[in-house]
Each structure stands twice: as C-alpha cells, then as structure tokens.
Structure 1
Amino acid sequence: MSREGFKSGFVSIIGRPNVGKSTLLNQVLGQKIAIMSDKPQTTRNKIQGVYTTNEEQIIFIDTPGIHKPKHKLGDFMTRIAQETLNEVDMILFLINAEEGYGRGDQFIIDRLQNVKSPIFLVINKIDKVHPDDLLPIIEQYREKLEFAEIVPISAINGNNVTTLMDQIKNYLEEGPQYYPEDQVTDHPERFVVSELIREKVLHSTREEVPHSVAVVIDQMKQRDDGNIVDIQATIVVERSSQKGILIGKQGGMLKKIGSLARQDIEHLLGSKVYLELWVKVQKDWRNRAFNLKDLGFSDDTY
C-alpha cells in the first residue's frame, strides 16, 4: 500500500555482541519482541520490528552481533548479520560507551567501508559514563569511518531515543507501507514464543548452558472455547549435564523457567497459556548442519 507523502525504509541495527541492540529495538517498539540478556550472542535470527505512524513506517532488523565465528552456528549468525548490510536503507552501528573501542568494532568497521547507505554511530549506555568521556569516544570512531549522524542514547532508559528516531525519519524516502499498522514483527508468533522461553533459560541458568540451548515449539493450539492456548515446547541442549541443570532439583528450575516464560507469552498473545516444557539432549547440535536446519538456524547453503 502506498500513499502520497508517506515514507518508509529498512534499518539494520548492528554492533558487537551485547551492546544493547535488542534493548533498543524493544524500546522503540514499546514491547518485547527481541530477546534480551546480559549474555552475549543471544540473538540468532534477523528479527524485524515494525514501527508505524501516520507519516512513516520503519522496519528494523536486529541482527546477531557480528563476531569471528567459532562454530557452524556462529558462522551462520555472522553471515546473516553481514548479509543485511547491503539490503537496507540505513545502518545503526551501536557501540557500548562503557567499553569503548575494541578489536570487535574494527572487525565491523572493515565490513562497513564499502556500504553505500547512511551509517549512524549510536553510542549506547551513556547512563554508565560521565558526559565528559563521550567526546573522546566520538573522535576515536569518527577517525575510522564517516558517519551520517552520531547519536548518544541509553536504550534501557529511553534517553535520547526520540532524537534518534527523528534523525532516522529525516533520512527516509517516500515509500509504501509494507505491513499493516498494528503489526510489530514479521515473525510468526511461534518464533517469538520460542525466543521468550529461550530468554528465560538464559536468565535462569549458569554460564554452562546459555549458548548451548535452542527452543523448538512442538505444538501451539488454541482450545475450542478460545480461552486458553496450549503450548508444548522442547528445550534442546548439547550435554546431559546441561539437561540436569535445566530440570533442576525435583524439576524446580524447569518450573521456574516455565512460569516466567508463561507470563511473557500471555502478555504477547493476550490469552491464558498452558505451557509444557521438555528438555532434550542433541549432542554437538551447533556444529551439525542438519541439526541447525531442524532448529531453524540454517538454510540451503548447508
């Protein structure tokens, strides 16, 4: 659908792992569609968030953090992030003000050198540093790449996010409305539900588990009376020890994960949810191409 004067565009959010890309996307949209965790490399697929007003529609792509891959899953995640760079109208290069410049940033900057689209430097977590520390950070990055705009923000608190949005809108060109005005993501509900469960796993378990977990929705069905959605899901891990941690003493950990996830899923679906979780061991799934495909992370290149 297209109408005169309406603007639209695709914006990719990139950056090192754990700089706050998903937090920014959720802040802009006003609701959670992207997984948030203090553990890096938690985003595995491109998540499109759709922001719509009467004047414009902006489709945000929250990519996996670009990093040097250590296994097939990492290779897939990095390739997805890099592929978006030439498919979008604008790029937000998000950095962490608290950490400053690092080799991981140079890895990304090298991949931005030939990009034709406007690139914004978005300095996140400014609430964690003194304002006087911002100028040296800006100068350091400005020497390495030409940025269309430089915008300091705090995604978690929402500081200056409105200013960032105004700057993005200035660069939009006239275009169609790609999605209905009430749609906030192009992912099916099953995908978002699986991500919400995986987020609770990350929040609730020790370091041994997070990067070795995937969530598969086995069944998601609304009851005939329409009051409850029944969801059955399997949490996939690589080792039996991880399965033990996830289940916990007398099933306590799995109950906790299920309870926390159910609250978010009910908010997402606007309905009561009956959630059943299982844990399954699939050894070394991150390095097995056929497992990645089964779990939704791969494509025909494997």
Structure 2
Amino acid sequence: MSSKAEDAAAGFRFGFVSIIGKPNVGKSTLLNTIVGHKLAIVTSRPQTTRNRIMGVKNLEGGQIVFYDTPGIHDAKHKLGEFLVKTAVSSVKETELTYFVTNPVSADELDMSIIETLRQQNKPAFLLINKTDTVSDKARLLQVIDAYQGLYDFNEIIPISAKTGDGIDILLEKTLSSLPEGPAGFSTDVLTDKFERFMAAEIIREKAMELTYNELPHALAVEIITWKEKSNKLVSISANIYVEKDSQKGIIIGKRGALLKETGIRARVEIEQLLGTKVYLELFVKVRDKWRKDTNTLRELGYS
C-alpha cells in the first residue's frame, strides 16, 4: 500500500461531501448506493434520518467521505431543531455539498436550502434524483433550466439513487472537484458508526415500516444491554420509546404480534450486520414529550 505522501504526490484526491435536501428525497438511499453497503436506514416516511452518518468511498485516485444528513424541514420541536442544525453544520464542514431534490420545480423549502448554500458560499452539486420515475424527459429539462437560474451550481446531474443511474459520472466529477491530498482513512474503514448504533437504527426502521399509517415520528430506540456470549451469540435488549400510551399499544399490536414481527425483522438484519446469531429482546416504554426535552434528547444521542 502506498504511503500518504506518495498518494498526494501522484495526484491523489481526498475530501468531505455533505448530502443535504428536504426529507424523503433519497439522500440515505444515495449514500447506501455510493458506498455499496446499507449504512443509513431507509423508509418511505420523511425525517427518517436523525443523525449525521458517515460513509467512505475509495476510488482509483482518491477517497471521498460522505455525510448523509437529516432532511431540512420546518422544525416544530427540539428534535427537529437538532436535525436541521446537523444538516446545516455539515455544509460548513465539508468541501462540497450535494443538494438532492426531486424532479419537480423548487418550492419554498428548496429555496431556503439554496439560501443556506448561498450564505456558506461553498461549491455545490445539484442532484435531481428519482429520474427513474420521469417518463417525460422534456419536463426534466425544464426543471434543470429552472434550477440553473436559482444558484450557481458547479454541476447539475440527474441521477437515480435507486437504480444507480448517473452515479459513476457523479463520482468522477466529485473526485475532480476535491483537493489533492492523502487519504484520511484506512481503506478498510467504511463508517464512523458503531454496531450498537446500527442495531438501534435497524430496530427503528422495522418499527416505522410496520406502523407507517398509524405512528408519527414519536419513536426512538435505545440499546440497553449488549452481551457477546461464548457460543457466538450476541444478546441485545432495547427500549422503543413513544410519547403516549396509545402509541405504545400501536407498537405492541394485538396480543404483541406487531412487536414480535418488529423483533423478527430486526433480528434477521442485525445478524447479517454482525455475522453471528442474535438474541433480541424489545421493550416499549412511554416517555412523555421526549422530542421536546433537551435532557432526553441528549440521552438518546440527539445533541
């Protein structure tokens, strides 16, 4: 393996890229597609991502570190304020920003994100995602033309994070936009998130999937115990927090059926993550107005 000095001398490039946009535009799917691994959970519900998640992509000639961020939205509580602050701070800390949007005209929230880019005065690519859903290419061109007049984007690239269309050219243009320098991470580093975090996110994803039409985003997961047994078994217990007793009943389901299904689905994926058998025990607890309580948010890692 070449040294960092040799990497830089050979024109090796390295840098950080933030991925921002409104909720549910495909930011997490984009990160997962780029790195080739599921690092961020994905649901059809807006505001699924709550933490900044790092993903490292190694390429011939460079290394790119991506930050998937929470969707920027009109915050209604302290949790929402934390999510928006996390996304905006990532723009400040990275050399390049991906502004991901759907293939439609910009709305008021898109304009506020563009204003954030303008204030930071950082290079940005506009990524028009979900092109696989567009049959009228003339309409796509109209969207591109409209965005060109709103901000001086370094690149405007139509992509499909779902199918991978446009990702190769995106990475090529991204790498050429980053400064020369040695790699910041070893090639075996994929993310900065630990297995406990990933397991909690998987549990939250499965609970959200199964309560799509009934439960709002008043749901959080905390790993309580994590024990590695001698017989290649990991024993995990976790609390699922909601804000009301009525929501607790929704999560548990009739005779505990929904909570059981949540555990089954989560256990399968956590076993894939860890490469070992898992015993998973879930509990549902009520923490009144936890999204508005600073201390509780800090305990759950939202600070």
For the aligned pair, the TM-score class normalised by the smaller chain equals: over 0.9
**What secondary structure, in the 3-state scheme, does the structure 1 residue paired with 2:86 have?**
helix
**What residue in structure 2 maps to residue 285 of structure 1?**
290
**CA positional deviation for 1:115:** 2.6
In structure 1, C-alpha distance between the alignment counterparts of 2:279 and 2:47, rounded to whole Å: 29
**3-state DSSP of counterpart to 2:198:** helix
CA contact (8 A) 2:157 2:170 kept: yes
Structure-2 residue corresponding to 1:79: 85
> Is 1:204 paired with 2:210?
yes
- Over the matched positions of the two proteins, sequence identity in percent amounts to 47
Secondary structure of 1:3's match?
A: helix
When structure 1 is superposed on structure 2, of 15-24 and 267-276 the one drifting more is: 267-276
Task: Return the letter of the residue paired with 2:43.
Answer: S
TM-score, reference length from structure 1: 0.95
Q: For the residues of structure 2 that align with 1:224 and 1:210, how far apart are their CA atoms?
A: 39
Partner of 1:230: 235
Q: Is this contact kept in 1: 2:19–2:97, CA < 8 A? A: yes
Q: Deviations over 1:171-214 (max 9, x none)?
A: 12222322221221101111111111111111110334241000
By how many angstroms is 1:234 displaced? 0.6
Out of 189, 200, 203, the residue aligned to residue 195 of structure 2 is 189
Structure 1 position 260, deviation (Å): 0.9
Q: Distance in 1 between matches of 2:37 and 2:212?
A: 27
Q: Aligned partners of 1:281, 1:7: CA distance in 2, in Å?
A: 48
- 8 A Cα contact 2:229 2:235, kept in partner: yes
From the superposition, tell whether residues 3 and 264 of structure 1 become closer, same or farther in structure 2 (CA, over 3 Å). Answer: farther
The code of the aligned residue for 2:4 comes to: S
Q: 1:265 matched to which residue of 2?
A: 270
Aligned positions, number: 296
Q: Give the Cα separation in 2 of the matches to 1:192 and 1:3.
A: 34
Contact 1:209 1:237 (C-alpha < 8 Å) held by counterparts: no
- How far apart in 1 are the matches of 2:77 and 2:34? 32
Q: Does 1:2 align with 2:8?
A: no
- CA deviation after TM superposition for structure 1 residue 153, in Å: 0.5
Matched, 1:118 2:123: yes
SS in 1 for 2:150: coil
Find out whether 1:52 has 2:58 as its counterpart: yes
2:260 — aligned with what? 255
Q: Report deviation, 1:294.
A: 1.0
CA contact (8 A) 2:45 2:212 kept: no
Select which of 244, 248, 251 maps to 1:246: 251
The code of the aligned residue for 2:113 comes to I
Q: Secondary structure at the match of 1:174?
A: coil
Alignment-mate amino acid for residue 71 of structure 1: H
Question: What SS does structure 1 have at the residue aligned with 2:119?
Answer: coil
Aligned amino acid, residue 136 of structure 1 = Q
SS of equivalent to 1:9? strand
Which residue of structure 1 lines up, in the alignment, with residue 44 of structure 2? 38
Q: Report the CA distance between 1:54 and its aligned residue.
A: 4.7
Q: Distance in 1 between matches of 2:207 and 2:108?
A: 30
Runs of 4+ in 1 over 6 A off after TM superposition: none
